[in-house]
Amino acid sequence: MKATGVGSLPGTDIDEALSFTFGELPDFPYLPELPGRGPGADMIGRGSAFLVDLPVELYVGRWRVAAHAGADERQALDFLERDLDALTERADGYRGPLKVQAVGPWTLAASVELALGELLLKDHGAVRDLASSLLEGLRAHVAEIKRRVPGAEVILQLDEPSLPAAMAGEVRTASGLYTYRSVEASRARDVLKSFVDGVGSPVVVHCCARNAPLGLFREAGVAGVAIDLSLVKDLDPIGEAIDAGLVLYAGVAPTAAASVPSSSHLADRLRRVWSDLGFAPELMAKQAVLTPACGLATSTPAYARGVLKACREAAQRLSE
């Protein structure tokens, strides 16, 4: 059984961060995001670096569509190139699963504004163009990582924390007085399926919001779902996902706490869920991966290192 991280880490040094993820998670490392470096290294800024022929810029602290590429986008691209160079060096000779993250199309549409100030989510045509642009960029990104790390089995994680709110019609307009119309489940599914079919690697969707639409993710054909187990109220959708062959990336460790949870506590959390679902223990090694609940950028370096180590040791316990 394996453990991995979700996305962000504290700090600003990508070489140190990669030494950290490859050192603590030797069986399933990942390319972390370091938002502490500033705009362009955050989840939305990094997402902008993948957009093809759709320039964006920062305006009063928010990303918006721009007439042409500027300094903000160049900085995001520079961070990405530095990260890929560091990954190439650190992963030299590595063979095995390697996870990379990117913001998903619906969360990006709920975070980037049109030139006139409203979110792209308002305009279905703009969402379609955004998704197409992001897919093209991520297809090239995955291919580039495979070229740089030929022994890696690349897994793409799409981060979709805003999708439940978009589907529920809870994303507020710029004025704050209204909300955008809800996204139909079939439309959300079809857009995600285009990524599953088009990026050239298995896709895992991470959603750390309440009411993560696991059934929709399953219908989109994803290879796995990553969720915060503390937010789960109904186990049936998890059971249906596992029955369908999906891998559960089980967020068992909080992103912040007074102390690092013990590996035995983390192992027991997944063991109880697995038992309640009625699945055979030996299936866990094939269809479960232990992770923190979400990214760790807001935690201390010591806590982040301790949590990833505890997840790895918990996975070892569950393999015994």
132 neighbors 178 (Cβ within 8 angstroms): no
Predicted local distance difference test score (pLDDT) of residue 67: 86
Spatial contact of 15 and 82, defined as CB atoms under 8 Å apart: no
Confidence check: pLDDT of 303 > 90: yes
**pLDDT: which is higher, 257 or 214:** 214
List phi, psi (to 5°) of 3.
-135, 150
Q: Of 187, 54, 204, 185, nearest to 132 (Cα)?
A: 54
Q: Which residue has the tokens 């890696």?
A: 152
Q: Which has the higher per-residue pLDDT, 111 or 115?
A: 111
Domains of the chain: 38-222 (3.20.20.210)
pTM of the model as a whole: 0.95
DSSP string of 22-70, one letter each residue:
HHH-TTS-B--B-GGG-TTSSHHHHHHHH-SS--EEEETTEEEE-SS--
Pairing of strands 2-3, 224-228: unpaired
Q: What is the mean pLDDT of residues 299-303?
A: 95
Q: How confident is the model at residue 103 (pLDDT cuts 50, 70, 90)?
A: very high
Reported as a single tens digit per residue, the pLDDT across 68-78 is 988 999 999 99
Mean residue pLDDT across the chain:
95
- State residue 221 phi and psi, 5-degree precision: 90, 20
* pLDDT number for residue 117: 83
The pair of three-digit structure tokens given for residue 18, joined into one six-digit string = 């990669």
Q: Please tell me the distance from the alpha carbon of residue 188 to that of residue 130, in angstroms, as a whole number.
A: 13
Q: Is the pLDDT of residue 188 over 90?
A: yes
Pairwise CA distance, residues 69 & 54, whole Å: 8
Segment 259-290, tens digit of pLDDT: 999 999 999 999 999 999 999 999 999 999 99
Residue-level pLDDT at 316: 95
Encoded tokens for 150: 């030929």
d(CA 214, CA 184): 15
As a whole number of angstroms, the distance between CA 170 and CA 235 comes to 24
The closest of 164, 161, 162, 144 to 152, measured between CA atoms, is 144
Sign of the four-CA dihedral 21, 310, 288, 2 = positive
Confidence of residue 320 (pLDDT cuts 50, 70, 90): confident
Q: What percent of the chain has pLDDT over 70?
A: 100
Sequence-distant (6+) residues with CB within 8 A of 265 are none
- Pairwise CA distance, residues 121 & 206, whole Å: 20
List, in order, residues 6 or more apart from 231 with CB less than 8 Å away: 208, 209, 210, 212
Q: What number of CA atoms fall less than 13 Å from residue 9's CA on the CB side?
A: 26
